[in-house]
Amino acid sequence: MPFFALLFMMLLSVPARIIAQQLPAPERPKLIVGIVIDQMRWDYLYRYAERYTQNGFRRLVNQGFSCENTFISYTPTYTAAGHAGIYTGSVPAIHGIVGNNWYERKLGRNVYCTDDSTVITVGSGSDAGKMSPRNMMTTTIGDELRLASNYESKVIGIALKDRGSILPAGHSANAAYWFDDATGGWVSSSYYMKELPKWVMQFNHKKLPDQILNTNWNTLFPIDTYTQSSADARSYENNLPGEDNGFPHITSTIKNNKYLSFRYTPSANTFTFEMAKAAVEGEELGLRNATDLLAVSLSSTDYIGHEFGPNSIEVEDTYLRLDKDIGDFISYLDRKIGRSGYLLFLSADHGVAHVPAFLKEKGVPAGVLDDEVIRELLEKTIAGQFGIRPVLKVINYQVYLDHNKLDVPGKDKDIITETIISTLLSRNEIANAYRLDRPAMINLPEKIRDRLINGYNQKRSGDIQFIYKPGYFDGGDKGTTHGTWNPYDSHIPLLWFGWKIKPGKTNREVYMADIAPTITAMLKIQMPNGCMGNVIEEVTR
């Protein structure tokens, strides 16, 4: 018998138990928990640290692993794109979620990121559940986990915002739940189920939002001890919907749209964590033979942050309360799953800018310019010079053009486009403007250029991108927002805790898109199918 044939026969005779010893089954945690805090700037980890408890943020930082320089690698930095980016390991150019809304040329209208007219609400008679993940073009961590376990793993998404629940959960999730302003309860979509599980109906029956609203919102500590904030009720702050006071915020008397107002209270974060605990109990997450995933997004931080801004007492009080909620939730997981049984990460979908009026008080350049003002300026200029109105929409710091009006005899598309760019640049608030279909012509520092390219999806993005000066954004006279490339919008926290996580930190620059491949590497499963990130090796060692 030839030597190689003999060798082959010998290999075939090796006992299966020996092979099994050489290729052990991968170790995996019982439960993966993703906590995404909507609108959390990285500096909030340390700004309020003196008053954080030992069990919340401080425990995650001291006993977990912190990636101190985590950035978003695309623009615009909005909620839907951030939640999709964390769980897909990708960018809008690939996963297709280019904003919370975008203009869809083939439909001739704006599209919301999770809109789906083919499904209906489950758990309410409202339209709040006509949503699904179908607009997202790639898989998520949860999708890959389900595939890897032959659909034995359970994946659940929970958030007040539909987009904060649906996009993290992915296409093949067992369920996603979000808050319905019409009923004050959790709803879902027929995309996932025909009726709410019994445990969700029982949770809704408690009517916790009504109980919380009746208690009003006062500061956790004496208001004069909030030294990291400006004075209360500044003229450039908004009010809670349906209420016109500073502290204490009297929510018990709100009658109209009271559940909308509930979203703007820090207790809505507590309510979200209570729903997350109910999901663990009701679905037995982390208590079965397969690894499960629970994606939790805290949305109230975003509602409150938009209204009052980073230097407000409201934001400081919200994070002091959120710290206690996080500590309580981690302690619950310790008791229910065991610290060595769950892998937890905490991050954010974006940061936020200071209120421009506040910055100007302090001598810092800042300002706002509304998209509608830009659109009217472009319409007037182009109509006056060329006799056409080619601007379809100004949204996401982009201008969408009607190509049918530009691609006609007698009209020079390039000249009209350059006129639009020069008109944009005539505004003091705008620093740069570029054609998105010519990335080689974007004359910007590499980091900013790459973020524009990563955010550009040929089918869904606009034609021209404009960039505000630092401290400026699309908005009004009160409150604040986010969406730009600047560090205040793109520098986010990233903490790891639990299963196989050793205490430490890295100041190496990493990116939002690195979260998904790091988790899938630890689980030894395939990364999402549009993933562009890299494994954060400091976490996996």
Residues in the chain: 541
Instruction: Specify whether 79 is catalytic.
Output: yes
Nearest alpha-carbon partner for 510 in 82, 179, 69: 69
State the residue for tokens 């502290």: 247
Cβ(276)–Cβ(158) below 8 Å: yes
At residue 293, φ and ψ (nearest 5 deg) are -135, 130
CA distances from 488 to 237, 351, 471, 493 (A): 19, 6, 9, 12
The DSSP letter of residue 76 is S
Residues 6 or more apart whose Cβ sits within 8 Å of residue 455: 74, 75, 76, 81, 91, 92, 93, 98, 461
CA distances from 87 to 35, 297, 539 (A): 11, 12, 17
CA–CA dist 298, 159 (Å, integer): 6
Cβ(203)–Cβ(186) below 8 Å: yes
Q: What angle do CA 88, 89, 91 make, to 5 degrees?
A: 90
Choose the catalytic residue: 70, 75, 77, 79. 79
- Helices 371-386 and 413-425: crossing angle in degrees, nearest 10, is 140
CA–CA dist 419, 428 (Å, integer): 16
CA–CA dist 121, 127 (Å, integer): 6
Terminal C-alpha separation, the chain: 47
Find how far residue 475's CA is from the centre of its chain: 20
State the CB neighbour count (10 A cutoff) for residue 181: 17
Residues 6 or more apart whose Cβ sits within 8 Å of residue 19: none
State the residue for tokens 């200071």: 354
Residues serving a catalytic function are 79
